[in-house]
Amino acid sequence: MADEWQEAYEFAVEVARKAGMVIKQEIDKEMKVLTKSSTVDLVTKTDERVEKIIIGSLKTKFGEKAHKFIGEESTEKGCELTDAPTWIIDPVDGTTNFVHGFPFVAVSIAFAVKKELEFGVVYSCLEDKMYRARNGKGAFCNDEPISVSDVKDITKSIIISEHGTDRTPAKVEKIFSTMQKILCIPVHGLRGSGTAATNMCLVATGAVEAFFEIGIHCWDVAAGAVIVREAGGIVLDVSGGPFDLMSRRMLSANHEDIAKRIIKEIEVFEVPRDDGVKHLQQPSSF
Ligand code: IPD
């Protein structure tokens, strides 16, 4: 049977590279910074321009109406994932880094069919690292196969957690309390690159054992989820239940033992879902 989505996968890599070139050209220029959900949730003209370039290129290639799009900058209210072939795009993952010149910024492009992620591409453009993975076909960085670390003992691990863009004191308290408990297990270290997509690729390459966050969006983690799974890792809800792309909660890890130990410490808090659905229970599989 012909490989229906291979062409789309290869094209996504091309488009991510083109988008990354624009980001690299713009990063040193004077930029106007606007805010979105809070005063620390930043957006620039480059985010909007790069998203237009990506969606425009995909529409030119595959037709105006063939696919649906969920893009960070063009999806204003709730995004719905249907059975239709759908691109899920973060044009500049790590906008705060981009604004400050902190050297981790990624283009994240995923593709889902019948609500299942088919492939994911993350271009960490300032490092020139092109991560990609397709269901059942392995994960790669700059065309070299990648795989997660084989560390199962949490006391020998590095864990990534981010604090996101919500500064509500009660939420910040839970985030830092979770980080403190994990740090004191103890683990070798806590890290964070400032881009969820890159964080997931760091799990996929074995540089760290896990990354979790509550408050991320589907466009931050869709591509990384395929890359982590294809590199041999797992992607779950922060409760240990199945990963739900629209839930804004995600834990990726190299191994179940590491995931289980982290889940024990996570102080979960409520965030509105990306699809606007009120509340879904996340049964733990552990
Ligand atoms: C952000 C980054 C960051 C994460 C935030 C995201 P953006 O994405 O992925 O690492 O902590 O939750 O919103 O806004 O730069 O695309």
The pLDDT tens digits for 195-246 are 999 999 999 999 999 999 999 999 999 999 999 999 999 999 999 999 999 9
- pLDDT tens, residue by residue, 79-93: 889 999 999 999 999
Give the pLDDT of residue 276.
Answer: 87
Q: Please check whether residues 215 and 99 belong to one and the same domain.
A: no
Domain CATH number, residue 74: 3.30.540.10
Domain extent at residue 98:
5-145
Q: Please check whether residues 98 and 182 belong to one and the same domain.
A: no
Sign of CA dihedral 227, 164, 166, 54: negative
Pocket test for ligand 1, best of 23, 162, 168, 190 (most atoms within 8 A of CB): 162
| Nearby residues of 196 by Cβ (< 8 Å), 6 or more positions away | 93, 162, 211, 213, 216, 220, 221, 224, 250
275 CA to centre of ligand 1 in angstroms = 18
| Count of all residues that appear for the chain in the document | 286
Token output for 81: 């994932």
Report strand pairing: 249-253 vs 210-214. Answer: antiparallel
- Read off the pLDDT of each residue in 147-165 and give the average, rounded to a whole number: 97
Q: Please check whether residues 9 and 141 belong to one and the same domain.
A: yes
Give the pLDDT of residue 285.
Answer: 72
pLDDT-derived band at 37, boundaries 50, 70, 90: confident
Q: Is residue 273 part of a domain?
A: no
Q: Please check whether residues 178 and 133 belong to one and the same domain.
A: no
* Closest ligand 1 atom to Cα of 216: 12
Compute the distance between CA of residue 246 and CA of residue 234 in angstroms, rounded to an integer: 17
Q: Is residue 274 part of a domain?
A: no
Model pTM?
0.96
pLDDT-derived band at 24, boundaries 50, 70, 90: very high
Tell me what percent of the residues of the chain surpass a pLDDT of 90: 86
pLDDT-derived band at 63, boundaries 50, 70, 90: confident
Q: 225 in the Ramachandran plot: left (φ > 0), alpha (ψ -120 to 50) or beta?
A: alpha
The tally of domains found in the chain comes to 2
- Read off the pLDDT of each residue in 52-69 and give the average, rounded to a whole number: 93
Q: Please check whether residues 50 and 174 belong to one and the same domain.
A: no
| Nearby residues of 40 by Cβ (< 8 Å), 6 or more positions away | 96, 165, 167
| Nearby residues of 42 by Cβ (< 8 Å), 6 or more positions away | 33, 34, 35, 36, 95, 96, 99
Asked whether the beta carbons of 171 and 269 are under 8 A apart, the reply is: yes
Q: Confirm or deny that 144 is annotated as ligand binding.
A: no
Sign of CA dihedral 266, 234, 156, 208: negative
Ligand 1 shell residues, CB under 6 Å: 72, 90, 93-95, 162, 164-165, 194-196, 213, 215-216, 220
1 CA to centre of ligand 1 in angstroms = 38
Q: Please check whether residues 31 and 138 belong to one and the same domain.
A: yes
Give the pLDDT of residue 255.
Answer: 98
Degrees to nearest 5, angle at CA 250 with 22 and 122: 25
Q: Please check whether residues 212 and 252 belong to one and the same domain.
A: yes
Q: Please check whether residues 122 and 207 belong to one and the same domain.
A: no
Token output for 283: 């049964």
Q: Is residue 31 part of a domain?
A: yes
Q: Please check whether residues 201 and 230 belong to one and the same domain.
A: yes
Domain CATH number, residue 158: 3.40.190.80
Give the pLDDT of residue 76.
Answer: 64
- Read off the pLDDT of each residue in 123-145 and give the average, rounded to a whole number: 98
Pocket test for ligand 1, best of 193, 195, 203 (most atoms within 8 A of CB): 195
Compute the distance between CA of residue 194 and CA of residue 197 in angstroms, rounded to an integer: 9
Identify the bridge partners of residue 120 per DSSP, sorted by sequence position. 110, 133
Q: Please check whether residues 202 and 80 belong to one and the same domain.
A: no
